[in-house]
Structure 1
Amino acid sequence: MPELPEVETVRRHLAERIEGDVIRGVEVRLSRIVRHPAVDAFADRLRERAIRRVERRGKYLLFQMDGVLLVSHLRMEGRYAVADPSEPEAPHTHVIFRLGSGRELRYADVRQFGTMDAVLEGEPLPRGLAELGPEPFDPSLNGAALGRLWRGRRAPIKSLLLDQRQIAGLGNIYVDEALFAAGIHPLTPAGLVGAEALDELLREIRDVLSRAIREGGSSVRSFRDGYGRHGGFQIQLAVYGRTGEPCPRCGGTIQKVKVAGRGTHVCPACQRNPIARTAETGVNA
């Protein structure tokens, strides 16, 4: 699933190409992509609307128009492209926005998990969007704030970092990378991590996200940006997808474990598991 850097990369490229353009018509070929309202009303709401800004919140793309907001979630395989009508369509193109410039904004989705909502001004936002936590780059987000939020929590810190209600935009790739950089084992109970360590974790989260955005995201599987280009950050990944390879820090072997049902990459030497350490010593943490 595209995470914050990939969605931000798509946002920037779409903003360059379609901001200021007008939607003249909408063709929806797969109705389940549209969640709200019904397909005909969805098309009517967007017709003759100028795209003022393309923004991002967490993993959502937000197309700001006068009086209406188009909310798009790419999910697993959603992809946008701006093309001339004469250009061949990508397979699995499900929604086409015909623009006043004569071009088309095309949405393709092999897995068909992506969603779109056209929300009128004054209507409630889609539930997932409305429940998002702060952005990772929010200056008010710090170790002390996270410490208060997670005080007493026994859930693994990785599972909370993946919870979009806690911090918006993080996913499996960048959580693994940030936890490795901060030296925190993904199974560590969140409530056991102190404010200083959480400040360090936030610094690493922001660093890895910033570097990934500069490289156009990570094309670990099939991600492409708004120009159809692959991302470049995958070659910089320290642990994600590197099971059995040497740790770039200590030379130990990267392992893959399950945390909250997700494949998780960890260096057991650099990221000591406090649960396992407690069991070894017999100390009650």
Structure 2
Amino acid sequence: MPELPEVETIRQTLKQLVSKKTIASVDIFWPKIIQEPDDTAVFQQLIKGQTIHDIRRKGKFLLFDLDGYVLVSHLRMEGKYGVFPGDEETALHTHVVFHLTDGSDLRYQDVRKFGTMHLQKKGDELNKKPLVLLANDPLEPQFSFSLFKEKIQRSERNIKNILLDQSVIAGLGNIYVDETLFLAGIHPLIKGSQLSEQQIVHILEASVLTLKDAIKQGGTTIRSYVNSQGQIGMFQQQLNVYGQTDKPCSHCEDTIMKIKISGRGTHYCPSCQPLA
């Protein structure tokens, strides 16, 4: 699943390709992707003639700022956007095509068809689902450490699951939670209620460092992720624990372990991240 660095990289590259372009019409080949409005014909009517003025990001969501609306898009597991000449053959797994007035197409592809789109009136997007319950991400200026600390310390869940909870901290998924906890020296099974304020400070600092480094590298390509210009990310070359099972730790040379936490593969170094 694209996480914050991948979505941010997509945002940056996509903005270069479609900013100030106007939507002439939309073809929808998999209606379930359109979550709001629930009538795809209404979606097509409302978005016709709208100009893409900006593309923002909120956690793992892309926000297309139009004239009077905001298109809130989540890529889920395999979603991706690309810009193509309008006369180029449509590739397999293309489910939504925005025809632009300059003759190009903004195409949404999704092998697993899990992605979602919500078209909402401008100004309403942060007060409605899916964004209303979303926490700030650690790169946002308005991120509140005190609220973050409170949510962690009052929880009896393990810290891995807490950090995956988008209502606690937005943008982190399996890859960057594992990398964050490694840099912070925190075992993934430690309960939130057991963590000190200083340990939570280390977690926040590690998340910021990890996310910024990953953005600089264009994200992490493990399977199919590419940005809007078809380029892969390079942060996978700097991963300390994720996907490094049975390899020596880059810090202490102990063996990287992999366990399952709530069904998710979780990677850590037993020496750098002791449970006790």
Say whether the fold is shared (TM-score over 0.5): yes
Secondary structure in 1 matching 2:91: coil
Measured after TM superposition, the shift of residue 123 of structure 1 is 5.0
Aligned ranges 1:43-192 → 2 under 5 Å: 43-121=44-122, 125-141=127-143, 143-192=145-194
Secondary structure in 2 matching 1:62: strand
Distance 2:123 2:225 in 1: 34
Is 1:153–1:190's contact at 8 Å kept on the other side of the alignment? Answer: yes
Distance 1:107 1:138 in 2: 27
Is 2:152–2:193's contact at 8 Å kept on the other side of the alignment? Answer: yes
Measured after TM superposition, the shift of residue 229 of structure 1 is 1.0
Please, which moves more after superposition, 125-134 or 221-230?
125-134
Q: In 2 relative to 1, CA 121–55 (structure 1 residues): closer, same or farther, beyond 3 Å? A: closer
1:4 aligns with 2:4: yes
Measured after TM superposition, the shift of residue 17 of structure 1 is 1.1
Q: Which residue of 2 aligns with 1:282?
A: none
Is 2:95–2:108's contact at 8 Å kept on the other side of the alignment? Answer: yes
Give the TM-score taking structure 2 as reference length.
0.95
Q: Which residue of 2 aligns with 1:30?
A: 30
Aligned with residue 221 of structure 1, among 223, 228, 233: 223
- Which amino acid letter does the alignment assign opposite residue 47 of structure 1? K
Measured after TM superposition, the shift of residue 112 of structure 1 is 0.5
Distance 2:146 2:131 in 1: 25
Structure 1 unpaired stretches of 5+: 275-285
- Which amino acid letter does the alignment assign opposite residue 89 of structure 1? T
Is 2:148–2:169's contact at 8 Å kept on the other side of the alignment? Answer: no
Measured after TM superposition, the shift of residue 127 of structure 1 is 2.0
Measured after TM superposition, the shift of residue 121 of structure 1 is 3.7
Q: In 2 relative to 1, CA 129–215 (structure 1 residues): closer, same or farther, beyond 3 Å? A: same
Q: Which residue of 2 aligns with 1:13?
A: 13
Sequence identity (%) = 43
- Which amino acid letter does the alignment assign opposite residue 163 of structure 1? D
Distance 1:121 1:152 in 2: 35
Is 1:144–1:195's contact at 8 Å kept on the other side of the alignment? Answer: no
